[in-house]
Amino acid sequence: MSSFDYPTYPYRPGPEQLGETTPTSPVIVIGAGPVGLTLAIDLGQRGIPVVLLDDDDTVSHGSRAICWSKRTLEIFDRLGLAGPLVARGINWRVGRVFRNDREVYRFDLLPEAGHKLPAFINLQQYHVEQALIEAVPETVDLRFRHKVVAVSQDADRVTLTVETPDGRYTTKARYVVAADGAHSTARAALGLSFEGRVFDERFLIADVKMKADFPTERWFWFDPPFHRGGSTLLHRQADDIWRIDFQLGPEADPAVERQPDRVLPRLKAMLGPEVAFDLEWVSIYTFRCRRMQRFRHGRIFFAGDSAHQVSPFGARGGNGGIQDVDNLAWKLAAVLSDQASDRLLDSYDDERVPATDDNILNSTRSTDFITPKTAASRAFRDAVLSLAEEAPFARALVNSGRLSTPHAYDGSPLSTPDGDPFTGGPPPGAPCPDAPIAGTDGQSAWLLNQLGGDFAVLTFMSEPIDTDLRQVRIGGTGGWADPEGLVARRYDLRPGTCYLIRPDQHVAARWRQADGAKIRKALQRARAAGGPTVITAPMEAR
């Protein structure tokens, strides 16, 4: 049924199986999905050797996650991976919402120019995984058909039992990251569970290959003429493949509904009798909105679906997982290269648990709007939809999915709170917005590319500041030009303004007037160094 030619990656035994002595690995990542691969690549590029174990020998079965957000693409771009993905993916930013056959609402996810990367691309998960596998650096030992079957830990290391075609072996690591999906073996091995809601509603995904003239937009129908009583979502993917997602109701029988003789009439009713299409992939799913209480358990970390699950409305599953490991990679690398103590890793929970709660909240609200559970809820939903066409206030209430946005780590222990007045720009904890800049010879560049993947300072000063960190200086002799004034606007820059930026391109601290001592103190805090009171210099006599 699928037009995708699945690659097969060969099984190779690990050095442990060949009788070689194996020192404890710095990091073992379980699961070579998009989340595990991104983490392994990020760590590997930072010079940390990684063992990446996967129980399969190919990429994702079916298109699965297809919507990759701007923030995820910026993370991929930091790793040098975004270009080919964006070239292959379908770039979109407009969504339309229909009720019956009338458009009630339209949204634009990136209404402004001056960003390197688009609001979203749609690209099948198997394409993303294949591209990531090809980008794995030498520092990553990627092993296919190595299935983790047991996990234990003590104060110093984690021990894994791994099953392969050649039998079982054990291996050890200082840290383990379980990116092994909703049915995580590691989570089960530790006896850990989820908290949250399970939804009964069943949905049908039908991926079809067709030449269609729908625009490259996200289209969502409430109660369309071709699928009365349910909702339908249409997304374009690469290779002329379209994702069509039908709400089936809680009573639908998955064994029956996945049969082509049930699926094809639904598609024909929607697309019309004259449209020729081939069925690519069919899946019936339900979903949960839930998370583990904590994502760090000793030396074991959970990331992506192994840690939390959301409904698909809002594209917050895959993107949330990529943002988990964006948060974790630099911290693990800092600890493993002795630039920070183990306590820095506690901030993974401090930052990603609230981010996950935000994803779960938005995803749950969308689900409750799309699938009303009570007569009153349905009445309000229908009332909102009937008002939305002519009353803008009601459009704000129409919720067909609030699409993934990066989380600002408000109140993070790694952030230095603002002491100086700012009226705009990303506050401490927030992700850095991109903007176009120009070099001294006039060549154009992008701010986020210049910030890079280590701690950096962004300044609006005439002279360099006293720091060993990478400096991106806007203005002044030898600094970057801000040709459209967008850096100044997006960062609320005034002469003297300085931002300390983390390796994941979130803001650690910012000042109206900075010096080397302020930067050093904020850097210590961003690396979770020292106690709550750090005395750096004696009080000056007055």
Which residues bind to other proteins, rule: CB under 8 A?
A: 99-100, 223, 362, 365, 368-369, 372-377, 380, 382, 384-387, 390-393, 395-397, 399, 402
Output the smallest distance, CB 71 to other proteins, in A. 20
Residue type, 365: R
- For residue 128, give the 3-state DSSP assignment: helix
Instruction: Between 207 and 223, name the residue whose CB sits nearer to other proteins.
Output: 223
- Burial class of residue 243, CB neighbours in 10 A (0-12, 13-18, 19+): buried
Least distance in angstroms from the C-beta of 413 to other proteins? 26
Shortest Cβ distance from residue 391 to other proteins (Å)? 4
DSSP for 392-427? HHHHTT--S-----PPP-TT-TTS----S--SSSPP
**Cα separations (Å) of 31 from 194, 307, 323?**
19, 13, 16
Instruction: Quote the DSSP letter at residue 62.
Output: S
Give the 3-state DSSP-derived string for 475-522, with helices as H, strands as E and coil as C.
Answer: CCCCCEECCCCHHHHHCCCCCCCEEEECCCCEEEEEECCCCHHHHHHH
* Listed residue (407, 418, 423) closest to 314, CA to CA: 407
CA distance 334 to 339: 5
Closest contact distance (angstroms) between CB of 145 and other proteins is: 44
Q: Is 418 exposed, middle or buried (0-12, 13-18, 19+ CB in 10 A)?
A: middle
Both tokens of 535, joined, read 């005395």
- Which of 343/373 has CB closer to other proteins? 373
Instruction: State how beta strands 436-438 and 444-446 pair.
Output: antiparallel
Which C-beta is closer to other proteins: that of 376 or that of 541?
376
Shortest Cβ distance from residue 361 to other proteins (Å)?
8
Q: Shortest Cβ distance from residue 199 to other proteins (Å)? A: 14
Place of tokens 């996650």: 65
Provide the sign of the torsion angle of the four alpha carbons 86, 92, 93, 99, taken in this order: negative
> 387 or 481: whose CB is closer to other proteins?
387
Please state the closest distance from residue 396 (CB atom) to other proteins, in A: 4
Residue 493 main-chain phi, psi, to 5 deg:
-80, 140
Q: Which is nearer to other proteins, 394 or 465 (CB)?
A: 394
Instruction: For other proteins, give the closer residue by CB, 397 or 469.
Output: 397
Query: 18 or 391, CB closer to other proteins?
Result: 391
Q: Are the CB atoms for 170 and 16 separated by under 8 Å?
A: yes
Nearest-approach distance from CB 316 to other proteins, in angstroms: 14
Nearer to other proteins, 115 or 381 (CB): 381
Min separation Cβ 170 and other proteins, Å? 48
- Cβ proximity to other proteins: between 363 and 505 the closer is 363
CB nearer to other proteins: pick between 399 and 467: 399
CA angle 206, 37, 190 (to 5 degrees): 90
Task: State the minimum distance, in angstroms, from the CB of residue 308 to other proteins.
Answer: 19
